[in-house]
Structure 1
Amino acid sequence: MTPRTRLAALALTGTLALTGCSGSGSSAAPGPVAAEPGSSPELTAQPVGTVVSAGGNQPEGVVVVDGTLVVAVRETSGLVFLDLAADGSGARVIEKLTTDQSSRHLDLATPAGPVLVPLEGTNELLTVDVPTRTVATDAKDVGDGPHNAARTADGTDVVTNEHGGGVLFVRGGEVVGSLPAGPPQPGGLAVVGDYAAVADVQGGGVWVYDARTMTQVAQKPVGALLTHAITLAEPGRVDGTDAARAVVAIADTSGGAVELERITPQVEDVGRIDAPGSPYGLAYDAARAVLYVTLTDTNLLRVVDLADPANPRVLGDLPTVRQPNSVTVDERSGTVVVAGNHDGNLQLIPRALLPGG
């Protein structure tokens, strides 16, 4: 089957498969196979660094804003705010913001926030101010199962519509457009300037949208079954507007790799990182040009030097907490935080304990 024929078959699929990304059951007939994180086994090694409670069960998305660690928890639904020690030695719960439903993935609109919080169960996109720990905007009717969101350089929040297909565009807390065509089951996305690169968990590769014009501008088969994506932004940025770089990392969870693609907006192969063990969570330390990849089959964190994205260099693997679905980096110190979805724990790894630290 040619890539074009294969994509057409995917687009005609009427029922979308629920995956480990969706986190909910359904009585609908099973659809096409979609990528899922690995089901992590019991720990066989002590996690590196310090392990603390997330302040709630089933922690998933994690971000850090000026020393405040924000964690999405699923029981009970909400965001937990923790004061993260500058040296990565500990974290103290400050407050919890309860939400109607839970979020799996968190992203920063800018390095200073707000936090973009898609609520899959109520089809909302919240923006949450970190200093005040309050909801700034609440966009309603954001598709069917908004999975991930990121803000482009022009200020548009692009949201993947996991169970409806395609993406939605949100400005000022209001949905201003949508494109149901494209990936049948979009998962993660990453932005480069005004472009949003979206990963399809059913194997449709990468789809690129121009947020200014709300149009699809590129598509390319990439990897096997993709899940999440992250921008290799410059220090102090989240949108990858540096034209010389413009690279995104995409977890090929079923293919056991991380694909590196340049978005121009066409999708151009740059490099590939071997990552056996269902790679899932991604974080990038821009100041040190290091990518962190969680391997959910084996409870490991792969550390990769990306000083030259065309020639990635694996620095080593570290044991993590169980079910390491998400990871983030504190830009101040380089401390890495891994969320252990199974036991409700967070793992804090100071820079000194990381390979090359």
Structure 2
Amino acid sequence: MRRLVITCLAATLLTGCGTNDASDPLQVTDRLVAATPATAPPVTTPPAGTVLPTPPTRLTAYDPDTHTLVLAGTHDLTLLDTRTRTTRTTTLPGTPAGLRTEAGHALAALPDQDQLARIDLRTAAVTTTPVHGGPVDAVDLDAHRTAVALRTTHAVTILRDGQPQTTTDKFQGPAQLLPVGHDVNVLDRLATSLTPVDPTTGDKGAGLRAGEGATNAVTDRYQRILAVDTRGQSLLAFSVDPLINKQRYPVPGAPYALAYDPHRDLAWVTLTATNQVVGYDIAGGEPQERYRFPTVGQPNSVAVDPDTGEVYIASANGDGTQVVKP
């Protein structure tokens, strides 16, 4: 297997990797366009495992506490009990751009409504919090603080009990938030970069280029950030303190969705150009392919149950949700 040479080693040493504002002299292009999944071809190979009927899905998240797979397409959320394979539906005020689960709850960012929606996965009750600026992602940092990425104001704000505490601006297109150590790292899809933010002070650290078109990212148990470079067709691994691009591994097939199994050290990546999902062992010096399965059509989202290892691949065109046990 091939390993690509890393050209950008440390944000603290190579300032050209920073993407702190639109005047960045090494910005790849004046016209910033976020990478998107490939348009998948028709399915010609039957999907592995079991396929459950579910609506077209853009976002997927799994909650181990309630054994609930949360599927978001439009303003309706499908809540799938993975033990009984039964579903419930709850309605949000708008269509979520970001979706998280933790400790029996889901957290959805609703940019068009300037709201965060919190869903109790046991009762399906929905409560909302107003957040100005078009929230596209949100993550709870502790019992009182929530970090929110804002589309309209190109900023990241830290809420304390629902009220803004600090705000960090001058991003291009903040899309995902990745808490690691003391910082919240911001994946900017337009600038295709990662930038650390101190949630206490709002100070922005030196940013680092994240491939040619990064789309989705997760953290692993080694305090690294794993990111999919859809346009550059690769899987990236970053360490933090300082932010360093440790690995860039080729993943042909327009990789897009990403989920991490911390018990097995598997990174699951969907390939939207080939209707496949690949499981990479990321515990060693470079990723090692362990599994490759045919999927439902247009596999734009994936989640994993860390207890059982089951992988859930959801179709964005309505082919259902696939359940695979490696």
Q: TM-score, normalised by structure 1?
A: 0.79
Amino acid at match of 1:62: A
Tell me how far apart the structure 1 counterparts of residues 21 and 180 of structure 2 sit (CA, whole Å). 29
Look up the match of 2:112: 121
Question: Kindly tell me: are residues 31 and 172 of structure 1, through their superposed partners in 2, closer, same or farther at Cα, counting changes over 3 Å?
Answer: same
| Helix, strand or coil at the partner of 1:69 | strand
Look up the match of 1:195: 183
Look up the match of 2:174: 186
Look up the match of 1:83: 81
- Supply the RMSD in Å over aligned alpha carbons: 2.6
Tell me how far apart the structure 2 counterparts of residues 36 and 163 of structure 1 sit (CA, whole Å). 20
Among the aligned pairs, what percent are the same residue? 27
| Helix, strand or coil at the partner of 1:45 | coil
The answer on 1:321 being equivalent to 2:309 is no
Mapping of residues 142-153 of structure 1, within 5 Å: 142-144=132-134, 146-152=135-141
For the 8 Å contact 1:256–1:277, the answer to whether it is kept is yes
Question: Kindly tell me: are residues 287 and 3 of structure 1, through their superposed partners in 2, closer, same or farther at Cα, counting changes over 3 Å?
Answer: same
For the 8 Å contact 1:72–1:105, the answer to whether it is kept is no
Tell me how far apart the structure 2 counterparts of residues 213 and 278 of structure 1 sit (CA, whole Å). 37
Mapping of residues 8-47 of structure 1, within 5 Å: 10-11=22-23, 31-47=31-47
The answer on 1:92 being equivalent to 2:80 is no
Q: What residue ranges of structure 2 are gaps of 5+ in the alignment? A: 1-13, 25-29
For the 8 Å contact 1:160–1:166, the answer to whether it is kept is yes
Q: What residue ranges of structure 1 are gaps of 5+ in the alignment? A: 13-29, 234-244
Tell me how far apart the structure 1 counterparts of residues 31 and 211 of structure 2 sit (CA, whole Å). 20
The structural deviation recorded for 1:8 is 7.1
Tell me how far apart the structure 2 counterparts of residues 11 and 122 of structure 1 sit (CA, whole Å). 30
Q: Give structure 1 regions of 4+ aligned residues with deviation exceeding 6 angstroms.
A: none
Mapping of residues 194-213 of structure 1, within 5 Å: 194-213=182-201
For the 8 Å contact 1:65–1:130, the answer to whether it is kept is no
The answer on 1:106 being equivalent to 2:118 is no
Q: TM-score, normalised by structure 2?
A: 0.86
For the 8 Å contact 2:46–2:294, the answer to whether it is kept is yes
The answer on 1:286 being equivalent to 2:280 is no
Higher relative contact order (CA 8 A, sep 6+): 2
Tell me how far apart the structure 2 counterparts of residues 4 and 305 of structure 1 sit (CA, whole Å). 31
The answer on 1:170 being equivalent to 2:159 is yes
| Helix, strand or coil at the partner of 1:47 | coil
The structural deviation recorded for 1:163 is 4.0
